[in-house]
Chains A and B, each alone.
Chain A
Amino acid sequence: MSVKYIPVQWNNNKYIYDAVMLLGVGLFLYVFLYAAPGLLSHERPINPQVHNARAFGACAFVMLSVILCIGPLARLDPRFLPLLYNRRHFGVMTVFVAITHAGYIIDWYFAFSSSNKYEALLFANTSYGQLAGFPFEIFGIFALFTLIVLAATSHDFWMKFLSPPVWKRIHYLIYPAYLSVVAHVSFGILQDQQNHTFTVIFIGGAAAVGVLHLMAALHERRVDQAIKADAVDWVPVCDVAQMREGFARIKLLANGERVAVYLNEGKLSAISNACAHQNGPLGEGRIINCLVTCPWHGFQYDVTSGRSPAPFTEMVPTYNLKTDGAMVLLDPRANPPGTFVEPVPAPGREAKL
């Protein structure tokens, strides 16, 4: 399957996803900007520019925290995979909210002087040698630029152009960017305020992101230990009896590659576990209409050849299999992507016609 660089492939689920997300963000901003001031009994209100900047900055932080919780949640429980499906729209929306935050700050705090406001952003405070009073804006600038790069390269065109591994490495920059936001806030408003509601929400959000990632990593490690193979010619995968029609067993090879071994209509086939789209875990998908379907975005592959059905052109490597009694054995040398491999009958699991 391929998106063929069509800007966005819309479907009902994406409409619903985006609508919910926009409603949430809209409500956050509306309540912060228009409902909250009425409840504050300030003798004179905060300047609207500062109020706006804070609303958009806080919103971007909450959005980013939610986005970063989705990945580990989906690793821990596949029922959360639908949240992963359209996550990039959430990310792009966050960038616009963050740019608005920076815009209000730059047009207010750094404007009205005889200097250029962007230059002023860099020279007005240069106390880099101290913790209190550190120019925390610089962390915001780094985060903003990183987010802009990620949003600009979020489209599938860039994934094809850069290749999924490179693309993925670039998109891991989201973690330094998030840490940078944490530093931005920790050196900034956290040291400044009297009311500590923001501190509590902020630490809670950042901790949720951290703890979920840790849990997902531990979970992943346990799974890896269970499926890791020694470096041998033919790698034992499992007993045929452990296989389930339409589903895969995943094997982690000594070279770090993962293979998805599928039982389909009583026959065994093996393809790479890494989806050609975004490296989604094909072995955690299932066979729908004779095609392996990726759990992340639904790309599909013929299980015997690793090829997407026409007119699509995606291909993943295939692997050779044999059986020894009831044991399924895997040749760890991958075939070139798209190579047809005759499926191996699974002893005792022949399809009932």
Chain B
Amino acid sequence: MSDDNKPFFVGYLPVPQALRGLLLAICVLLVSGFAGFGLALGVAQDDPGEGAFRFDYGRQTVTGVIELTPYPLLRVTQGNERIKPGHTLMLAGGGKNNVDSRAIPLEGQLAQASGVILERGDLDMMQLRGGRGGLDAAEGAAPQMEVDQLGRWKLAGEICDGKCLAGAMRPGRGLAHKACANLCLLGGVPPVFVSTRPVEGSQFLLITGPDGERLPEKAYDYVAQFISLEGDVERRGDLLVLRMDPDTLEVLK
């Protein structure tokens, strides 16, 4: 097997002259190879999209009517420069937490919400500050809020968690992010359906169960995947809400 023309390497002895060139070449190849792969993979990262926490806007405070879809919404009645009356804000707590305990007692009432905005295109959400400072009853009687029924739709797209998608995480969608999104949804963060084609001008719809309950368990297996489904769409202010029919769920890819 062995051949005395071939140099013999023993770790604790100096490297044989005949092997030095090869080993040096391997060292150079290894180091430059690692650097090269680092560069190739580093620059191959997909654009995560434009979503982000808008800390640059500063804390936003607006007043509106609390509605439960069952995910809490604020139908803005008294806005500010950025958030106009008629706008509907989805509400979330810090991290992967919801604001149910603060919003449910205020259902149908006028409330003042304060927090930071997450924004991605025309999708936005407010992460409330902690405690009563984030959401508290406001003076006055709540006006009646309209809900327009837009009928039954068949849509193709992806179920995401609305907070990560809006910019809490970049990227905040896709299969690699599925477990993370599920964890948000299990925590009661509002889920969003990203439609491939806009519905009445909007690409994002808050998505609920068929009778307006939380996202059905079955849907969790399809989060972050390209699917089609049917459901009834309604408009609450400028936000569309999709009541999905779990029996129509189909994986498209």
- Interface residues in chain A, defined as those with a beta carbon under 8 Å from any beta carbon in chain B: 9, 11-14, 16, 20-21, 23-25, 27-33, 35-37, 39-40, 42-47, 50-51, 54-55, 58-59, 62, 66, 78-79, 81-83, 85-86, 108-115, 120-121, 124-125, 127, 129-130, 132-133, 135, 137, 188-189, 191-198, 201, 223, 244, 246-250, 281, 283-286, 288, 293, 295, 297-298
Q: Which residues of A contact B223 (CB under 8 A)?
A: 133
Among the listed B46, B52, B174, which residue makes an inter-chain contact with A44, where contact means beta carbons less than 8 Å apart? B52
A-B contact pairs, 5 of them (CB 8 A): A28-B37, A32-B42, A133-B178, A195-B44, A197-B41
Among the listed A50, A196, A223, which residue makes an inter-chain contact with B171, where contact means beta carbons less than 8 Å apart? A50
Structural contact, B187 and A113, CB atoms closer than 8 A: yes
Number of A-B contacts (CB under 8 A): 221
Structural contact, A13 and B179, CB atoms closer than 8 A: no
Which of chain B's residues 14-56 have a Cβ closer than 8 Å to chain A? Answer: 14-15, 19, 22-23, 26-27, 30-31, 33-35, 37-52
Structural contact, A79 and B41, CB atoms closer than 8 A: no
CA distance A109 to B42 in the complex (A): 20
20 extra interface residue pairs, beta carbon distance < 8 Å, beyond A39-B42, A40-B47: A9-B12, A12-B14, A24-B31, A27-B31, A27-B34, A36-B43, A44-B50, A44-B52, A44-B167, A46-B48, A82-B23, A110-B183, A111-B95, A114-B97, A130-B251, A133-B175, A133-B225, A188-B175, A247-B1, A298-B12
The stretch from B3-11, B80-88, B145-153, B203-211 touching chain A is: B3-11
Instruction: Identify the closest chain B residue to A288 (Cβ).
Output: B10
Structural contact, A54 and B45, CB atoms closer than 8 A: yes
Q: Give the size range of B's interface with the partner.
A: 35 or more
Structural contact, B253 and A132, CB atoms closer than 8 A: yes
**List of 8 A-B pairs having minimum Cβ-Cβ separation, nearest first:** A36-B42, A112-B95, A197-B44, A24-B34, A31-B38, A28-B38, A109-B180, A32-B42
CA distance A40 to B180 in the complex (A): 25
CA distance A110 to B35 in the complex (A): 30
Among the listed B40, B176, B221, which residue makes an inter-chain contact with A197, where contact means beta carbons less than 8 Å apart? B40
Q: Which residues of B contact A246 (CB under 8 A)?
A: 4
Instruction: Identify the closest chain B residue to A82 (Cβ).
Output: B9
Q: Which residues of B contact A135 (CB under 8 A)?
A: 179
Structural contact, A247 and B2, CB atoms closer than 8 A: yes
CA distance A188 to B180 in the complex (A): 13
Among the listed A11, A25, A37, A295, which residue makes an inter-chain contact with B9, where contact means beta carbons less than 8 Å apart? A295
Q: Which residues of A contact B2 (CB under 8 A)?
A: 78, 244, 247-248, 283-286
